[in-house]
Amino acid sequence: MSLPRVLVFGHSHLGALMAANEGEAANDARRFEIVSYQFMREDRPHIVHLDGEWRYHPECEKELCALISSTGPDLVVSMLQGERATAAGLIAPEHPFEFHFPGEEKAFGPEAEIVPFDMLIEVCRWEHGLIGELLDRMRGHVRLPSVALSPPPPIGDDAFIVASNIRHADIGRYLRERGLPPKRWRYRVWKLHTLALRTIYWERGVAFADPPVGAQGEDGCLLREFWSDPFHANARYGHLLLGQIQSFLRNGS
The domain tally of the chain equals: 1
From 113, 121, 118, 117, select the one nearest 97 (Cα to Cα). Answer: 113
Domain holding 23, by residue range, is 5-251
Task: Provide the CATH number for the domain around residue 197.
Answer: 3.40.50.1110
How do residues 67-79 score in pLDDT, each as one tens digit? 999 999 999 999 9
Residue 98 C-alpha from the chain's centroid? 23
Q: Tell me, yes or no, if the pTM score tops 0.85.
A: yes
pLDDT tens, per residue, the chain with 253 residues = 688 999 999 998 899 999 999 988 888 888 899 999 999 888 899 999 998 999 999 999 999 999 999 999 999 999 997 778 888 999 888 888 989 999 888 777 777 799 999 999 999 999 999 999 999 998 877 777 789 999 999 999 999 998 887 777 688 788 888 889 999 999 999 999 999 999 999 999 999 999 999 999 999 999 999 999 988 999 999 999 999 999 999 886 6
Three-class secondary structure of residue 9 per DSSP: strand
How do residues 8-61 score in pLDDT, each as one tens digit? 999 988 999 999 999 888 888 888 999 999 998 888 999 999 989 999 999 999
Helix, strand, coil content of the chain in percent (nearest 5): 45, 15, 40
- Helix axis angle for 117-127 and 183-202, nearest 10°, is 70
Alpha-carbon distance of 224 to 213, in angstroms, equals: 15
